[in-house]
């Protein structure tokens, strides 16, 4: 039985490297379809959770993990020699920016160095990490062929960008159309079989570069429009105009307008990072992507704008920011999830503390701050209760619990970056 037949008859083993917000839903999706899935991760706590049938991501219920384990279709390991057991290997590892706002592919290249020695041939190798066009050819294909394999005959290399939206109840890992590009036609056919076994709709494209660019365009579209509405927010604020009401009114137009909303900055692993993968690659071709870079500049400036709004709110009470006690509401970068990657809340916390404020936080989804690459100094801080004992409260994340919370009797000012609070105190400020 050939490789594609084994996948289509649910007789294959699908390996997924990286068991985070993308990788865990992916192994669960294959297991739910009755296909054996093997997760790989260097984080032993994730392996232990899966073996115990428990989830470590808040919006993914443990009963899904337990059911996959009980079915015998889900395993997890830190032993990369077991790559040889897999018919397909999907790489779901981070692609951050370095300190110079340039692509950091170290997670991809390090993972490839760990995987390639255990390839046996007649396998699919798929990259899902968001990256610049050409990465699959330059980093994956060259390494596979340097190991003695012929891509398109021995190893089938594909690129298929992840499109996860953590916490969105409308979309699961499998009902979002899956874009797939192959290095050769045979690679594409293998990729279509791999993802067609678990996903409802496959969108084949003509090359890995097309698939890589597709993901970047999706996220650049969002980043540029968020940059636009953030700039409009600042202008509207100076004019005394409520931009949130403007957006609500504009959204009634049934064509030609898509609402985007202002905020305290960009968060998550995609929107703050992905556009700069393209700007970096474009410079190789002598192209200066001014529009993308301007949007990035505006979005990165929003935490400073918010801090100035906090200063204004404190001034109303004749208080300096230096020495003030501030409660930050929300560390996750988006509503009702525990995902704090690239959250602007960390930047807000740092900027407020740099000005002499004492900052505590509340987030029911992030009870303890984990260790992060950029803000390791905050690791171990714990969420506190929401009380009126602060000089100012800063609402940074639109968790539903904050929408429902009754601030109406609070005497301290509330600075709301999300137009979130419905029961507002007398001293209420939009930011």
For the question of residue 86 being annotated catalytic, the response is no
* pLDDT average, residue stretch 64-89: 97
Q: Running DSSP on this structure, what letter comes out for residue 369?
A: P
pTM: 0.92
**Rounded to an integer, what distance in angstroms lies between the CA atom of residue 285 and that of residue 277?**
13
The domain limits of the chain are 3-206, 243-430
Alpha helices in 197-343 (DSSP H): 208-239, 243-250, 274-284, 290-316
Which CATH fold would you assign to the domain 3-206?
A: Rossmann fold (3.40.50)
pLDDT at 156: 98
Question: How much is the pLDDT for 166?
Answer: 79
DSSP state of 80: G
Of 381, 310, 380, 314, nearest to 352 by C-alpha is: 310
User: Is residue 1's pLDDT more than 80?
Assistant: no
Question: Over the stretch 248-300, which tens digit does the pLDDT of each residue have?
Answer: 999 999 999 999 999 999 988 788 888 999 999 999 999 999 999 999 999 99
What helix, strand, coil percent values describe the chain, rounded to 5? Answer: 40, 15, 45
Considering 92, 187, 270, 420, which one is annotated as catalytic? 270
At the fourth CATH level, the homologous superfamily of domain 243-430 is: NAD(P)-binding Rossmann-like Domain (3.40.50.720)
Same topology for domains 3-206 and 243-430, yes or no? yes
């Amino acid at each position: 039985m050939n490789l594609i037949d084994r996948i289509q008859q649910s007789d294959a083993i699908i390996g997924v490297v990286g068991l985070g917000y993308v990788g865990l839903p992916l192994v669960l999706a294959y297991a739910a379809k009755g296909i054996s899935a093997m997760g790989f991760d260097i984080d032993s706590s994730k392996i232990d959770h899966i073996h115990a049938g428990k989830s470590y991501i808040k919006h993914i219920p443990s009963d899904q993990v337990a059911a996959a384990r009980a079915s015998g279709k889900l395993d997890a390991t830190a032993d990369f020699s077991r790559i040889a057991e897999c018919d397909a290997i999907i790489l779901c590892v981070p692609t951050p920016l370095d300190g110079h706002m340039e692509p950091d592919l170290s997670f991809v290249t390090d993972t490839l160095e760990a995987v390639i020695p255990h390839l046996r041939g007649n396998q699919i190798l798929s990259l899902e990490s968001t990256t610049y066009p050409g990465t699959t050819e330059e980093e994956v294909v060259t390494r596979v062929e340097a190991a003695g394999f012929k891509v398109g005959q021995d190893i089938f290399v594909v690129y298929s960008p992840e499109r996860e939206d953590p916490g969105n109840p409308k979309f699961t890992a499998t009902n979002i159309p899956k874009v797939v590009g192959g290095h050769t036609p045979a690679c594409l056919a293998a990729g279509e079989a791999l993802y067609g076994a678990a996903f409802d709709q496959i969108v084949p494209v003509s090359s890995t570069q097309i698939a890589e660019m597709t993901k970047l365009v999706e996220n650049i579209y969002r980043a540029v429009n968020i940059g636009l509405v953030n700039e409009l927010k600042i202008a509207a604020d100076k004019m005394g105009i409520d931009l949130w009401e403007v957006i609500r009114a504009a959204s009634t137009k049934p064509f030609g307008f898509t609402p985007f909303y202002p905020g305290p900055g960009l968060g998550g692993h995609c929107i703050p990072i992905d556009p700069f993968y393209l700007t970096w690659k474009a410079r190789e071709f002598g192209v200066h992507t001014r529009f993308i870079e301007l949007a990035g500049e505006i979005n990165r400036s929003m935490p400073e704008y918010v801090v100035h709004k906090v200063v204004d709110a404190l001034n109303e009470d004749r208080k300096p920011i230096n020495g003030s006690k501030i409660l930050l509401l929300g560390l996750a970068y988006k509503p009702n999830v525990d995902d704090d990657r690239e959250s602007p809340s960390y930047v807000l916390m740092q900027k407020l503390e740099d000005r002499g404020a004492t900052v505590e936080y509340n987030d029911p989804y992030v009870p303890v701050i984990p260790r992060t690459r950029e803000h390791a100094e905050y690791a171990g801080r714990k969420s506190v209760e929401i009380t009126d004992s602060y000089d100012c409260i800063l609402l940074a994340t639109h968790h539903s619990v904050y929408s429902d919370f009754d601030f109406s009797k609070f005497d301290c000012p509330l600075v709301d970056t999300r137009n979130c609070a419905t029961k507002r105190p007398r001293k209420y400020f939009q930011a």
